[in-house]
Structure 1
Amino acid sequence: MITVELAQLLDRATANSEDPFQLPLAVSPWPVTLIVTGYLLFVLKLGRLFMANRAPYDLRTVLRVYNLLQIVYNGTLFMLAIYVIFVVRPYDLNCITVLPQDSPFKTVERVLSYAYYINKYFDLLDTIFIVLRKSYKQISTLHLLHHMYMPITGYCVIRFSGYGGHLIVAGVLNLFVHVVMYSYYYISSQIPPARRRFWWKEYITLLQMLQFVIVFAHTIWTQMQPKCEVPKELTYMSLFAATALFLMFANFYTHAYILAKTKKKQLND
């Protein structure tokens, strides 16, 4: 029902125009600019001032609900995207271009792409919750850059390239990673901190790194197709983003797990 209603909204929004971008948060750069700026102000300054003389909020129930909603949301989009890509098959996987406006699957493409984009704003709540719990050590440079990058890039891709297209692969991989990640958060929230030891925590970071390798490889493969009409600017951006994010996550993994294990072993010897 929700998908049908969203599809009807999208059809109404584009019925009188060939411009496919006339949707909330995808029309102008001002909404994403104001939201991301407000996010940074709250996380880095205002939120900390607000919490300065307050005890950390107990958000366990809120986080459980939030994590469950994220699992369902990302999981639903992932399964729908897999169905469209491999069952409906409107794309050539060697060269995934944005579907034309008269394609019978255009509304589906818009629904999935827009729903994915909107969730990047809800992801910002991760950091808001961290501030309200006064767990400031969790707010790393990587954390902030990643959360800023996703809505800004999402807007730019939709605004200048269109819904869907080449970055569908990156989106599908990201949906799967988020299902795993929020499942971990939910399960860990059900266990007392003293017993909260999961062997698979570090593998979530490795999974995130793997997605960037796949995105990089798929983009290179796309560039090798002689008649592919994917915009070169989009492939260059994809290569740069995949490389930069891989290096940042690799740096985090090295310090959080490899060096930390080495230091712990040295202390125990």
Structure 2
Amino acid sequence: MFSKVQAIFDRPPADPVAKNFPFLGSSWTVTFLILGYLFFVLNYGKKFMENRQPYDIRKIIIIYNFFQVVYNGTLFGIMFYYFFIDQIYPLNCLATLPMDDPKKNIERVISYIYFINKIIDLLDTIFFVLRKSYKQITFLHVYHHALMVSAIYWVVRFNGFGGQFFTMALANTFVHVVMYFYYMISAIYTGLKRSLWWKKYITKIQIIQFVIVILHSVYILVFNPKCEFHVGLHFLLITLSLVFITLFSNFYIHAYMKPRNVKQQ
């Protein structure tokens, strides 16, 4: 029985090269990574910190945020170049490149670097636990981080690297440059945290990125139905984006609109 289950999880990937990349060789690696993450941030981490003072990791967080700004900024620049300048995909059909395409390795490397960044993003929540900032460990936060890692893995496993998902990756890396830059500035200059008026606009651009993803997929489905990118994955992108729009909009209303209404009353 177990061997049959193992065979399902270890079926050959859409791109056979994917198994050579760390974290992509077996589904068990990502599964245990996500389960370990959830167990720590939702259970064990809080018990571990129960009788401890919050750790002073401000310097680590500043370095981490700087690293994320550089990482996401570099990745955004690379994707922007291949997306709009070199144009490895026509904008009206972002189908995964054929195995014999001379730029296939570029597609693989960009996708993999983005995937690794989603794993690195899990540290956000670990830092919250170590600082006892439990109010920041929301359903939206945990769901977003866990889903991004697992979803990218399974998409690569069954569909291959790149393709239409580059739209989300391009928008997401831009958002993360802005977001982690804000976190870095607020960590360096703690007194400015409340005066950084553009914090709420980070949530707005997070919502906008998912609107862009939906519009691009809808455009291709309507005006280029012969595009070879799987229709089911278009609807997966649209569904995930709608869920995130709902969650981020709910967060924005409760964080920035309801408090103002309470004050007015």
TM-score of the superposition, structure 2-length normalised? 0.92
- What is the deviation of 1:265? 2.6
Q: 1:195 to 1:213 in 2, by over 3 A?
A: closer
Q: Are residue 19 (structure 1) and residue 19 (structure 2) matched?
A: no
- Alpha-carbon distance in structure 2 between the residues aligned to 1:50 and 1:100: 49
- Alpha-carbon distance in structure 1 between the residues aligned to 2:173 and 2:151: 16
Select 2:163's aligned residue among 162, 165, 169: 165
- Alpha-carbon distance in structure 2 between the residues aligned to 1:182 and 1:196: 16
CA contact (8 A) 1:96 1:166 kept: yes
- Alpha-carbon distance in structure 2 between the residues aligned to 1:195 and 1:182: 13
- Alpha-carbon distance in structure 2 between the residues aligned to 1:101 and 1:226: 23
- What is the deviation of 1:226? 2.8
Determine helix, strand or coil for the equivalent of 1:103.
coil
Partner of 1:14: none
Aligned partner letter, 1:31: T
CA contact (8 A) 1:95 1:229 kept: yes
Give the percent of matched residue pairs that are identical in Structure 1 and Structure 2.
47
TM-score of the superposition, structure 1-length normalised? 0.90
Select 2:76's aligned residue among 72, 75, 78: 78
CA contact (8 A) 1:27 1:159 kept: no
Partner of 2:10: none
Partner of 2:105: 107
Aligned partner letter, 2:52: R
Deviations 1:162-196 (A, max 9, x none): 11001100000000000000000001111134763
Deviations 1:19-38 (A, max 9, x none): 13212111221111101100
Select 1:125's aligned residue among 114, 123, 126: 123
- Counterparts in 2 of 1:149-228, with a 5 A limit? 149-193=147-191, 196-224=194-222, 225-228=224-227
Aligned partner letter, 1:134: K
Determine helix, strand or coil for the equivalent of 1:155.
helix
Determine helix, strand or coil for the equivalent of 1:196.
helix
Determine helix, strand or coil for the equivalent of 1:94.
coil
CA contact (8 A) 1:20 1:162 kept: no
- What is the deviation of 1:86? 1.4
Moved over 6 A (4+): none
Query: C-alpha root-mean-square deviation of aligned residues, in Å?
Result: 1.3
CA contact (8 A) 2:96 2:161 kept: yes
CA contact (8 A) 2:93 2:220 kept: yes
